[in-house]
Amino acid sequence: MIPETFHIERFFAEHEFSTPHLLAVSDCESMTVGELLDLEPDARAALEEVWLGYTPSEGGLELREAVAATVPGLGPGDVLVHAAGVEVILTLAHAVLGPGDHAVVQSPCYQALRSAPAMAGAEVTLWEGEPGALWDWDVEGLESLLRPTTRLLVVNSPHNPTGHVFTRAELVHLAELCDARGIQLFVDEAYRGTERPAEVEPPPSITALSDTAAALGLLSKSYGLPGLRLGWLTCRSPALLEAAGRVKDFTTICAPATAEFLGALALRHHRRLLERTRSLLRRNAALLTEALSRHPDRFAWHDPGAGSVGFPLLRRAEADEFCRRARGEAGVLLAPSSLFGGRAQAIRVGYGRAAFPRDLQVFEGWLASV
């Protein structure tokens, strides 16, 4: 069952490749196949030897070992490879939930995180964030949303669209709360590794903190490789991975062999790729903060220090109309808050690409005219 249109994906299908200045995108700067192959001297020859048959449904061992190496203590048996990150959300929801169950989902959010539980037949309650220049979620107050029928808690850290990051202590609290109630904790970690302040120790993956929690990882965001369409579910529970794998048998079955080869190559150099991303994000986040601070009457914003997207609040404009005008009058694509749910009037600004300074300049020029 598809409960509703996937609004943000329809939004990008209509506007992403026809609007010149992309300030709504959530991925980070990508690279060519050639640049990726340059990371290892024998990679080109090895790519030519890739067998274009089926890959293992759980993912090839080389790729699962490369994923596991990014999380201390994780092994390849704790990894289930998917053909896209959004597929992980779908298989996890259907593995855990059914009619009569209840799920709690952090909001605002990437819509799949709330729609997939509904597609599985569950009732969904949104755990709303407190809007502000720095968004916040009441971790202590979360328990009031839980029911005897709650089977799944979904959170996202670093968060899309706000950039909010749960601390290590908060993640441990969520894991313990879920364990005590028999709830599956699922953390979307698509932006893990984008935490920028060098003096701050980023929280580890939830799978390094909990034997039962599950996490989503992918190549599209922090690594800037969305064209490979690879994601993975990590968890120390063989039963959960088995259940998700049985759902995946009805979706993609297995991932493409060439994508698995290139994905494993990228992850063997994950530190190098992440530093490339963080360097770009540091520059672009500073530019965004400077630009928005020149318009304090229009925006409320504070750099959260993680992720490649921000969610500035609009002080005196309605988000859908603001974004429509920016797109129509200046060719600038911004994503309105209506695509993510929640109460605030805000816009998602993506600052992970190399062209961001140019596109931001166009946006500021338009602001000066309206």
Within the chain, which residue ranges are assigned CATH 3.90.1150.10?
A: 7-32+271-369
Which pLDDT belongs to residue 261?
A: 98
In the CATH hierarchy, which top-level class contains the domain 7-32+271-369? alpha beta
In the CATH hierarchy, which top-level class contains the domain 33-269? alpha beta
pLDDT digits (tens, 9 = 90+) for 185-205: 999 999 999 998 865 677 899
pLDDT digits (tens, 9 = 90+) for 285-300: 999 999 999 999 999 9
The DSSP code for 130 is: B
Burial label for 367, CB within 10 Å (0-12, 13-18, 19+), is middle
pLDDT digits (tens, 9 = 90+) for 207-244: 999 999 999 999 999 999 999 999 999 999 999 999 99
CB 77 within 8 A of CB 91: no
Within the chain, which residue ranges are assigned CATH 3.40.640.10?
A: 33-269
pLDDT digits (tens, 9 = 90+) for 175-189: 999 999 999 999 999
pLDDT-based confidence at residue 343 (cuts at 50, 70, 90)? confident
Q: Is the pLDDT of residue 128 over 80?
A: yes
pLDDT-based confidence at residue 133 (cuts at 50, 70, 90)? confident
pLDDT-based confidence at residue 342 (cuts at 50, 70, 90)? confident
Q: Is the pLDDT of residue 136 over 90?
A: yes
Does residue 158 have a cis bond before it (omega within 30 degrees)?
A: yes
Task: Find the mean pLDDT for residues 164-175.
Answer: 96
Nearest to 173, CA basis, from 153, 199, 150: 153
